A and B are shown apart, each in its own frame.
Chain A
Amino acid sequence: MVTKRIIPCLDIKDGRVVKGVNFLNLQDVSNPVKLADYYSRSGADELVFYDITASFEGRKLFTDILTAVASTIFIPLTVGGGINSVADFERVLACGADKVSVNSGAIKNPELIGQAAKRYGDQCVVLSVDAKRVDGKYHVFLNGGRVDTGLDALEWIRQGVDRGAGEVVVNSIDTDGVKQGFDIEMLRDVSEIVHVPVIASGGAGGVQDFVELFQKIPEMSAGLAASIFHFGEVAIPDLKQVLRENGVCVRL
């Protein structure tokens, strides 16, 4: 059976990996190429590479870093941040990305999802959604949780998948950086409405949080985290061993 994927996320700013607590308190962590290589060797199933400031400051990804990462590691690589057009897809795919994640660019122009899916295939288009509870509903947020779009997150995800997104990353702003576990409730609600792979993001604080994620939501395809991996709090081989002992199918 297809294994549950463990995905370290490298948030990039000015060529360095950073990870904020609730997005707002950025802290410098490490060299992206070295970190990517380390993860690839230690059993990461995939890497996500976000330019977290791109949608806020309009910055382009540092494509030389992307090229260096894609030349060093031979596992799937998803790139996001500042993807606003088919030309942006082309730019990062040419540097070795396998999948491209769209967030604010798709909210501004939902047609982008369909255009990119038609050109590169559904499997290439990842819809990334930052969601937060507002008055009993999930709202889509922008710019690292600063701006409430007012969009209903479940409705937006359903629409994105209909338009051709082949995978969805759900990042709960309510649990992100808090390290108290994934947002099981939100993730379950999303997994019930779509039939493409869903990646859980936001809130992993330790090994048990991944066990809980895959046991409570067996259809969840992957778990994504950043700081717990970057700071060595959780080693991926140990995490996978525990998952296997708990009956979760993983690649060791």
Chain B
Amino acid sequence: MIAIIDYGVGNLFSLKSSLKAIGEDAVVTRDESVLDRAGHIILPGVGAFGDAVEKLRGTGMFQVVLSQAAKGTPILGICLGMQLLFDRSFEYGEHNGLALVQGEVRDIRTVIPKELAVPHMGWNGLHFPAGKPRSPIFADLEEGEHVYFVHSFAGFDCNEHCTATTEYGAELTAAVQNGNVYGTQFHPEKSGETGLKILKAFCRLEGNT
């Protein structure tokens, strides 16, 4: 079973519909026991980091995500959900994240030229680091395929956990992976056929149930 975590942040309609379109039935849940039994977990989210992390902690789902990650269950964080995987974020103050992936979340304005619009919004190309095995969720993609981004903050200092980048006046982290924990800064559920290929590959990963 694929569980989409509902902690009151973001729009889950498209995510659920896109999984349905690839033949996967996902459960949208805020029930810890359902989450604990899930074979795959998707952590979505839009909005601000601080609020989101507080909501996750408040519902007890924070701990379940950590224990599922430790058990080897495939976990996919999308957009803010990816940022929550990091050690910490500097969006409106400093907040600790799940610390499942190395690095921290900072404003992209600290690295991009100031004439570029923020948020970074639209379709941008994915680039895979040379000389490194392809992250399994990108197994069916070509170098340079376009995916849909909407964000003003991004992951930095991810080092070997960075699995894809995109270029917006600077090289930005587009995706990360640490073992069974995956994150995409872009929205696969809004990235047309390319996005569906990524979701399919994620659902194909061996879960623990």
Interface residues of A (CB under 8 A from B): 1-5, 40, 45, 70-71, 74-76, 93-98, 120-124, 166-167, 195-198, 219, 221-222, 251
Contact = CB atoms under 8 A, between A and B. Distances in A.
A95 B13 contact: yes
B63 interface: no
A197 B120 CA distance: 8
A196 B47 CA distance: 17
Interface in B6-21: 11, 13-14, 17-18, 20-21
B139 to A, nearest CB: 19
Given A1-B167, A123-B46, A74 B17 contact: yes
15 contacts: A2-B168, A45-B123, A70-B13, A93-B13, A97-B11, A121-B48, A123-B121, A123-B152, A166-B119, A167-B121, A195-B117, A196-B119, A197-B117, A197-B122, A251-B146
Contacts of B123: 2-3, 5, 45, 251
Contact of A74 (B11, B47, B189): B189
Given A71-B20, A98-B190, 14 more contacts: A2-B149, A4-B122, A5-B123, A45-B122, A74-B21, A75-B148, A76-B150, A76-B190, A94-B13, A96-B14, A97-B11, A121-B48, A123-B121, A196-B118
Contacts of A1: 124-125, 167-168
Contact of A93 (B11, B48, B148): B11
Contact of B11 (A71, A96, A167): A96
B47 A121 contact: yes
Nearest to A71: B17
A2 B146 CA distance: 9
A139 B21 CA distance: 45
Interface of B: 11, 13-14, 17-18, 20-21, 46-48, 115, 117-125, 146, 148-152, 167-168, 187, 189-192, 195-196
Contacts of A121: 46-48
Contacts, number: 91
Given A120-B46, A221-B121, A74 B146 contact: no
B119 to A, nearest CB: 5
Nearest to B188: A74
A70 B149 contact: no
10 closest A-B pairs by CB: A96-B13, A251-B146, A2-B124, A251-B123, A2-B122, A123-B150, A71-B17, A197-B117, A121-B47, A3-B123
A70 B117 contact: no
A75 B191 CA distance: 6
A124 to B, nearest CB: 7
A5 B150 CA distance: 13
